[in-house]
A and B are shown apart, each in its own frame.
Chain A
Amino acid sequence: MRKYSVFAVVREAMRGHKGWEAQWASPEPRKEYDAIIIGGGGHGLGAAYYLAKEHGITNVAVLEKGWIGGGNTGRNTTIIRSNYLYEESMHIYEHSLKLWENLSQDLNYNVMYSPRGVMMLSHNVHDQQSFKRHINANRLYGIDNEWLTPEQAKAYCPPLDISKTARYPINGAALQRRGGTARHDAVAWGYARAASDRGVHIIQNCEVTAIRRGPDGRVVGVETSKGFIGAKKIGVSAAGHTSVVMQTADVRVPLQSQPLQALVSEPLKPIFPCVVMSNSVHAYISQSDKGEFVIGAGTDQYNSYSQTGGMQIITHTLDAICELFPMFRRVKMMRQWGGIVDVTVDRSPIQGITPVPGLFINAGWGTGGFKATPGSAHLFAHLIAKGEPHKFAAGLTLDRFRTGRLIDEAAAAAVAH
């Protein structure tokens, strides 16, 4: 792999950028791999990278039915934070945040992790109690998260309306300064490039239609649109389509697939310095480096695999945004879209072994798994390599839905991004 650097950019600028090589190879699939990962999102590509880098397993393929990063990785609003409530969540999201902090250097790819701060607005006593609970838990874990008065919140984010007469007056906010955003495409491409460099095969336009099991029940490979491909181990990281894929191995998973929508405004000069979320009014907003306001909604309340959602959801989200920021009513929506997210009842992810030997699952990241990409991928690689979960992921098992040992982040936050 030719390293990216300032010098490389200058060198190429001098010769019309003719010397750049393909960021990742596009080989034909082999007959068999040591491990196959289904789903070329950030999680799947990242897992392949860490398998190669940390576990020396390089005979790996990532099978992607469309184009890499084309699922939720390339559709999300890129909010990154780790100030979750429960220990199981803090383990994984903080592990992830630490990896974000060095990811550009690790991958030699600028993923534009931008810790501009994620601020959650508190509108009432109940919010305040809940945020304080998070802040205290985070502090004892070692995660930054602080309480701001309305005035401090406004100083951090000047467009905020903190007047007492607002429909949802702001009585404070929780701020994680290390929270922020990153460039979603760069995450997929950066992992793909680094994985490909270590020998991983990235195979696009390759849909897995069935997981095949041998007489002993173990996985033996997958049927795909490019034919059968053998594998001793299979990791499923297919986000909104996880249940469909798992069903072919006779495993039913407790996931609901629902549309989640987002939109961007026309590009405007910078005015909005951080990420602001409000659970009470169901909306969140940031401004991208291109100048677009990036605005996210709650899920559509029905199950669907169509990547368009209902207009009423977008409408409600904009209602909320304009209520919080009345000055944005003249701003224009430029583009709206949706993704299919896989939601668990406790709004926490599933990562672990399955009843099928050799088959591993990473799913249920729902509306908030972009932030977890490096951490989840890192731990998923561990799981696939060792056959058992890393201690940070030990609580995320599929089994918890049977035992009732839920990690109910939903109880604390209505919008879990």
Chain B
Amino acid sequence: MSGANRISGWGRLTPAKTARFTFDGKSYTALEGDTVASALLANGVHLLGRSFKYHRPRGILTAGPEEPNALLDVSRDAARRQPNVRATVQEVFDGMVTSSQNRWPSLALDIGAVNDLMSPFFAAGFYYKTFMWPKKAWEKVYEPFIRKAAGLGEAPKEEDPDHYAGRYAHTDVLVVGAGVAGLSAALAAAKSGAKVMLVDEQPEVGGALHYDTGVKINGKDGFTWAQETAAELKAMDNVTVLSRTTAFGYYNHNMIALCERVTDHKAKPGKNEPRERLWQVRAKRVILATGQIERHMVFENNDRPGVMLASAGRTFLNHFGVAVGQKVGIYTAHDSAYEAAFDLKRAGISVPAIVDSREKPGEAVLAQARAMGIEVLTGHAVLTVGGKLRVNSMTVGRHAGSATRKIAIDALLVSAGWTPSVHLFSQSRGKLRWDAETQRFLPGTYAQDSLSVGACNGTDDLQATIEEALAAGELMAKAAGAEGNGKIEITGEAPFSWTGGMIGAAEGAGPDTTVKAFIDFQHDVCAKDIRLAVREGMQSIEHIKRFTTNGMASDQGKLSNMHGLAIAAEMLGKDIPQVGLTTFRQPYTPVTFGTIINHSRGDLFDPARKTPIHPWAVAKGAEFEDVGNWKRAWYYAKPGEDMHAAVARECKTVRDVAGIFDASTLGKIEVVGPDAAKFLNLMYTNAWDTLKPGKCRYGIMTREDGFIYDDGVVGRMAEDRFHVTTTTGGAPRVLQHMEDYLQTEFPDLKVWLTSTTEQWAVIAVQGPKAREIIAPLVEGIDISNEAFPHMSVAEGKICGVPTRLFRMSFTGELGFEINVPADYGQAVWEAVWARAEPMGACPYGTETMHVLRAEKGYIIVGQDTDGTVTPDDASLNWAVSKKKPDFVGIRGLKRPDLVAPGRKQLVGLLTKDPNGVLEEGAQVVADPNEPKPMTMLGHVTSSYWSSNCGRSIAMALIADGKNRNGKTLYVPMADRTIAVEVVTDMVFFDKEGGRLNV
């Protein structure tokens, strides 16, 4: 038997299909289709957890996603452990392990429960008023203590082995919620021919029909009709029905995010099945049919295990076949709870009394109750309940202080009425309106293309709901462009029409300031806390919420918000809408990070970019560094070499013989068109119309602010065609910057921009033997110094494949950069290497490249500049055309501060001790003895040991640097101060530049 409280013949689960699971180490049997909550209740377990602040014993309050109390730790195995799972949502699978949270040493005997006794000291906001003395104690004593006490479940500690999926979808009509309203709307839209998606968070469609068994639709049992309708919809080509799928976020432009739970209910998930799937649905029209959520009654000790929403009691009985007790009391302010009493009674369970806070309940339900012999106490309240780990009595009276009667019970079903689920509507930025007559917030002004239907729209009558939904389905389908005829008729009958409802504190909440009548269960917020907040001057509902933390727990106030608001309004003597409602925020229910990111992990999160030569470098044992998204070969250490030794050797080899370097990561943009030169004239500080085809030139790009943005060599391939190179990290933003200007500022120019970064592999061959190495491989280009001098470019062939060959150098040596189509990159590299190796050349990495260029005083944008450096600051004024009437940055460069004296300027630094290498990022001062805060003149941007110079070299941005040639400055480090000499000439090697032109 799957639990002593399972009533045979009741509910919709199949008794033959069972599953075993454990709760706090004890094993239980469930039926297939059970939630953890229904299975535990079937086994008579009501105590499931402890509350956040007071550690009060807590049970199951609801049967749905609004559950604030019954949060469990659920695991499949050690790495697949999930904290804070709502027992009312999680379906049982065979082998599942569950345990309670936030208790020590055990659930029944929890030491933390002393907090409940101490609670007078822990009133809302008490922590703002104390813990301030002594000063250090907050950080050292109080805060660690509070932190320990907070939190519910334990964070996962192992990497999640599950995978998650993501899909984008477009649809004509998205219907959220598959109760009567959602199903009807979806059917009408689908029959109209629209593409429809219908989603519901529960395993089965039906919504309220799960418990509302009196309802007949088209003459059938409501739940049966719902399943048949879903089957009909699923059979249609234009319809997608997703169950176990929560629409959790309504974003701009009708983008709805859904979370589909694919395997969490399965004992053995399929091997390739994701755990959950994120859907991002762009819908032409949205129909919200999200129903309503029952509110609890607010009275003393209303949080005792066994106190439950009436609709939850009905769900457990009518759907799961579980009796929540044998003597079940009812406490209500709304007719709907009477039906719970009727259902229980019919199932043979005793209902000692219906306590109704109203003098005049609906006549029909009252008559029925009497007819069934159930005692109804109108105008009465449950003032408190007895029992700690499970409710055992209710004390009933007209009001506090009046004669009371104690009635033995073992469960209490409560209802204060219903709150329409306007969460998604509100997330869509729609404006709610207050309906004074029915005391509820309803959709008012829509902000997006959506409609609310049924209970979430305040429509109570069943037939009215159906008709509203059918009309909405048809209307939205038409609006989305469907042309079919969606006219259908559906008739529904409900046994009773409901009235009633109350918001705020009931009699039993007392005016007393010590009574614990809970509003927000998970955060232990009571009616008295709201009152306290108001006494302390909090008038806005947002302040009250933050002060008390009402509605900020993981259920996001689904049960508590309206109660809190009503109590605040009463205290303030204002109407509810004057006090205002807090904003509903995404997500509707918590969503796993893994689902949100789904495939975006590791290489799919951010693919590492690799050049065609990468595998060769790996094989040669290169170390790599990350530059932007690229993996770049950093240095090639030989056995026994450390980085320092490897770099020193590479640097020397390049200058003595030659080296080959993978420059493929440089950004490349093909700038083509009759106005290409004109465009580049505007984008770079240099003049390009003077550049002849077949030549290349170093260019500097500034933004409108006049600061250096990027640099690179640009080759003119033809009158109307330029091969532009950018820094490795700058490639995407430079292209974007160019496009931006082309489209917004210079749209009249005939220019096309194409990124070719990945189309070309680039092999730099640098050093005295560079020409000798490549000469036999090159066809169709005379590469002699005379025919092909420094800063030339030509097209031809190398190793039989097309090349753009540049004669250029970032090392100060004779150099070539061979561009070949990327697919040939590795083959050409290997051919070059085959010639280079016997001559004693070496491959070199980015570190050697950095040292060699620093020896020549060439800057690296982003290292020696930082977005505050002008071309003049970097001694690159020669690259700024004085003749051009305009370029981006020309006005910025004229601003007073950019031409003021004393700016930070790039200079060389030589340490007095030639062996000392400065730290990059070290600060430079004039007076090393100045007390802190010291006056900093600037910082070291580049610093290396130079084996070619036989000493260390450095570059630095120094205030008024150009006027400090030969001056001594100081670099104060934590443990010593280093004296340095400023040299304005940053060329440390081959000052005449003769090596370039051989």
Residue B491, interface by CB 8 Å: no
CB of B898 within 8 A of CB of A404, answer yes
Between-chain CB contacts (< 8 Å), 22 pairs? A13-B121, A18-B535, A20-B532, A23-B536, A114-B138, A124-B626, A130-B921, A133-B923, A137-B923, A142-B932, A167-B602, A167-B605, A289-B150, A311-B249, A315-B600, A318-B597, A319-B605, A322-B597, A329-B159, A330-B80, A331-B593, A403-B895
CB of A330 within 8 A of CB of B150, answer no
CB of B429 within 8 A of CB of A306, answer yes
Q: Which of B542-597 contact A (CB under 8 A)?
A: 542-543, 546-547, 549, 552-554, 556, 583, 585-587, 590-594, 596-597
Per-residue B-contact encoding for A387-417, CB less than 8 Å = 1, 0 else:
0000000000000101111101011100000
Residue A291, interface by CB 8 Å: yes
CB of A404 within 8 A of CB of B706, answer yes
- How many Å lie between the Cα of A335 and that of B249 in the bound state? 10
- How many Å lie between the Cα of A47 and that of B371 in the bound state? 70
CB of B593 within 8 A of CB of A289, answer no
Chain A residues bordering chain B, tally (CB within 8 A)? 111
- Contact with A115, one of B139, B602, B974 (Cβ below 8 angstroms): B139
- How many Å lie between the Cα of A270 and that of B554 in the bound state? 17
Residue A355, interface by CB 8 Å: no
Residue B22, interface by CB 8 Å: no
Q: Which of B512-546 contact A (CB under 8 A)?
A: 512-514, 528, 532, 535-540, 542-543, 546
- Contact with B593, one of A140, A290, A330 (Cβ below 8 angstroms): A330
Residue A334, interface by CB 8 Å: yes
Contacts of A67 in B (CB 8 A): 539-540, 542-543
Which residues of B line the A interface, CB within 8 A? 52, 80-84, 120-121, 123, 126-133, 135, 138-139, 143, 146-148, 150-160, 162, 249, 251-252, 255, 257, 280, 427, 429, 512-514, 528, 532, 535-540, 542-543, 546-547, 549, 552-554, 556, 583, 585-587, 590-594, 596-597, 600-603, 605-606, 608, 625-627, 705-706, 729, 862-863, 866-868, 892, 895-898, 919-923, 925, 932-934, 936, 939, 972-974
Contacts of B251 in A (CB 8 A): 308, 310-311
CB of A23 within 8 A of CB of B537, answer yes
A126-B627, A322-B594 as given contacts; A17 in contact with B156, CB under 8 Å: no
Contacts of B133 in A (CB 8 A): 5-6, 105
- Contact with B157, one of A23, A105, A311, A327 (Cβ below 8 angstroms): A327
- How many Å lie between the Cα of A139 and that of B974 in the bound state? 8
Minimum CB–CB distance from A71 to chain B (whole Å) comes to 11
- Contact with B923, one of A140, A265, A332, A411 (Cβ below 8 angstroms): A140
Stretch among A182-190, A223-231, A239-247 lining the B interface:
A182-190
- How many Å lie between the Cα of A333 and that of B588 in the bound state? 10
- How many Å lie between the Cα of A121 and that of B303 in the bound state? 45
- Contact with B540, one of A66, A271, A315, A320 (Cβ below 8 angstroms): A66
Please give me the 3 A-B residue pairs with the lowest Cβ-Cβ distance, nearest first.
A291-B151, A22-B537, A132-B921
A308-B252, A411-B868 as given contacts; A336 in contact with B919, CB under 8 Å: no
- Contact with A74, one of B257, B546, B590, B933 (Cβ below 8 angstroms): B546
Contacts of B939 in A (CB 8 A): 133, 136-137
- Contact with A131, one of B84, B131, B594, B921 (Cβ below 8 angstroms): B921
Contacts of B158 in A (CB 8 A): 327
- Contact with A334, one of B129, B554, B594 (Cβ below 8 angstroms): B554
Q: Which of A48-84 contact B (CB under 8 A)?
A: 66-70, 74
Contacts of A189 in B (CB 8 A): 128
Contacts of A406 in B (CB 8 A): 705, 868
Contacts of A4 in B (CB 8 A): 128-130, 132
CB of B150 within 8 A of CB of A267, answer yes
A268-B154, A270-B147, A310-B252 as given contacts; A322 in contact with B593, CB under 8 Å: yes
A266-B554, A268-B152, A308-B429 as given contacts; A330 in contact with B866, CB under 8 Å: no
- Which chain B residue lies CB-closest to A19? B535
Residue A102, interface by CB 8 Å: yes
A74-B546, A140-B972, A269-B151 as given contacts; A87 in contact with B83, CB under 8 Å: no
Which residues of A line the B interface, CB within 8 A? 4-6, 8-10, 12-14, 16-18, 20-26, 66-70, 74, 87, 90, 102, 104-105, 108-110, 112-116, 123-126, 129-137, 139-142, 167-169, 183, 185-186, 189-190, 204, 265-271, 281, 287, 289-291, 306, 308, 310-311, 314-315, 318-323, 326-337, 345, 400, 402-406, 408, 410-412
Contacts of A190 in B (CB 8 A): 128
CB of A267 within 8 A of CB of B152, answer yes
A110-B132, A311-B251, A327-B157 as given contacts; A87 in contact with B933, CB under 8 Å: yes
Known: A4-B132, A265-B590, A331-B593. 11 other contacts (CB 8 A): A23-B538, A68-B543, A114-B139, A125-B625, A167-B605, A183-B128, A204-B540, A271-B154, A311-B251, A403-B897, A411-B866
- Which chain A residue lies CB-closest to B553? A267
- Contact with B129, one of A8, A132, A167, A270 (Cβ below 8 angstroms): A8
CB of A408 within 8 A of CB of B933, answer no
CB of B151 within 8 A of CB of A290, answer yes
CB of B925 within 8 A of CB of A126, answer no
CB of A14 within 8 A of CB of B974, answer no
- Which chain A residue lies CB-closest to B529? A17
Minimum CB–CB distance from B925 to chain A (whole Å) comes to 7
- Contact with A330, one of B81, B146, B587, B897 (Cβ below 8 angstroms): B81
- How many Å lie between the Cα of A84 and that of B162 in the bound state? 40
**Chain B contact residues: helix, strand, loop or mixed:** loop
Which of B151, B156, B625 is most buried by chain A, counting CB atoms within 10 A of its CB? Answer: B151
- How many Å lie between the Cα of A104 and that of B131 in the bound state? 10
Minimum CB–CB distance from B581 to chain A (whole Å) comes to 13
- Which chain B residue lies CB-closest to A139? B974
- Contact with A412, one of B139, B543, B627, B866 (Cβ below 8 angstroms): B866
- Contact with A109, one of B81, B128, B255, B538 (Cβ below 8 angstroms): B128
Which of B532, B594, B627 is most buried by chain A, counting CB atoms within 10 A of its CB? Answer: B594
- How many Å lie between the Cα of A68 and that of B270 in the bound state? 53
A102-B135, A271-B155, A408-B866 as given contacts; A9 in contact with B121, CB under 8 Å: yes
CB of A410 within 8 A of CB of B593, answer no
- Contact with B867, one of A105, A334, A410 (Cβ below 8 angstroms): A410
- Which chain B residue lies CB-closest to A267? B151
- How many Å lie between the Cα of A4 and that of B481 in the bound state? 64
- Which chain A residue lies CB-closest to B538? A23
CB of B128 within 8 A of CB of A330, answer no
CB of A21 within 8 A of CB of B536, answer yes
Contacts of B973 in A (CB 8 A): 136
Contacts of A116 in B (CB 8 A): 139
CB of A90 within 8 A of CB of B147, answer no
- Which chain B residue lies CB-closest to A304? B252
A140-B933, A167-B605 as given contacts; A9 in contact with B126, CB under 8 Å: yes
- How many Å lie between the Cα of A185 and that of B158 in the bound state? 34
CB of B925 within 8 A of CB of A140, answer yes
Contacts of B153 in A (CB 8 A): 266, 268-269
Contacts of A125 in B (CB 8 A): 625
- How many Å lie between the Cα of A336 and that of B248 in the bound state? 11
CB of A20 within 8 A of CB of B155, answer no
